[in-house]
Structure 1
Amino acid sequence: MPHALRVLGYRIAELLNVCAVYLGIAVLVTLVMVFTLAPLRTQVQQIHYALLNTLRPASVDNVLYAMLVSGDDDNRAMLESLLGIAALPPTDTESGEGEQTDTTAAVAGGDAINFARLLRKSIEEGGVEGITPEQERALRSYLARKYRIASSVAGALISTVFIVAKEMNLDPQLILAVIAIESRYNPYAESHVGAQGLMQVMTRVHKDKFTEFSDGTIAALHPIANIRVGSRILRDCIDRRGSIERGLACYVGATGPNDGGYGAKVLAERRRIALASGIPVGR
């Protein structure tokens, strides 16, 4: 009888040891999930929003649609059929209007059909008002290579930035540098505090600036709308603080002179962009 009790005690002890091991594994897995699931959930949510926006026929202001539109005739015909539209708006050559008029309208409109027109123009013609074709090609090559984006997308973004910069009286290379530091040219980037898009606009703070767009603050994920709103915020910051350096500190949310090196990073990237493109730095 005592022997049987000892054997039973050993068995119970072994069972408890096994349970303890599995409990430890369960606790470890739980801790790993706690620390990794939140970022994953955020990424999945961003992808979910992007897909919803892409698949929604009523609002085609999306760079993914724009990339389709800028492709070959079969892709364009497929997208036109999907969207239920007869045809894309004509290019400048077809309509007889000047490039600046057409492109300015595209930027002012803020929708993806218009961004698609910029992409198609970038592929078929190129050319940005205010700089030479050689400078535009060098700038496009630098952005496409460094930030791993399609050359046509780089060209469309450059066109958008130069038009908006003229409208806001800003150096276009400053805007391009801000985009580089803020999002590395990822239109769907979102920070842990909710800043979104190419220029990482805080939509909950600047909600009023998106009233001109039919989609409201979701337009922060659209290249043209984000550049327009972000550049307007940057212009306001520079005007309030009195200089580009202080304006950049304001843009990044620094209340004092110390911006954590943000301004230095932006200005260094602006110099690199100017050196790569051969475009003089403006003020």
Structure 2
Amino acid sequence: MLDQQVAAGFAELAATKRVRRWEAAGKRLPIDFMGTGFGGRAHRVKSSGHDLFRLFTTLRQVMDGRFEGVRWESGERITVQESGRFAEVDGAVDAAMRIMRHLAADFLTPMSLPIPGMSWLYNSHDEATKDFALHAYAGLGTGHGWNLRSATVVPGLTAIVTEVIIRTHIAAETYGSSSADEVQLRRKRTELLLAAHTLVGALGTGKAVAQLLAVRNDRGAFHPAAIRHIQVPSLLRASKLALDVVDQARQTGRYEARNWDELVVATALGQDLELSAQLECLAAQALAL
């Protein structure tokens, strides 16, 4: 499985000395608060500090040395603030550097980082929305949820491989051919890319739907972690290619006929040129006399 191979590669990178120094530099920050209601393998989605869409909130918490979050207890939403136990930072620059190193090290771990914006869903006032964010990120096991790695890196690699295969096929097919029509070649490449990306997107969506129907969470509801199989980059690329196919078909079928005004102008220009030639000839004859 591609995701497992990528995760294994990230684990090797995380074991390097440089990444370990990044991890050490980010220790004891407020965004890693693990108090009651904020622990567990899905603790990063419970903290706004790990959300890339909320970097200013993260910076403020680290500079102030105060954690701010929301936990749920017996169906009630409770706002939590904690301070006095976190590492001190020397200004905004030091705080920003620690945050960047901390998030970079976390990205390489099996749980990676939550999808940007997921902490807003977890902190919402609707418990069902909170459960969706929590279970989607937590997954069925460590690293098997919908995180930044599984949603961007793996589908992105799949889309890139699809592009390389199709473009290499077209290049090999037309290699050494001097009679290849560039317009027809471009249309064929676009249509093959559309078919390939659509197929990849359909397979990923089908797998997500199948798992969504087959797997339930601890409350018997559908488990949202199945959405990790949706190939978002391939679907977006297929949408763009579909527009390209329609545009190319419209351009090919366009009949380039001149309207009446263009015909009149062209005819008039022709008559003027003919009249000028006749006058020039008559002038030359007159001068010769």
TM-score, length of structure 1 as denominator length: 0.26
Please say which structure displays the higher CA radius of gyration: 2
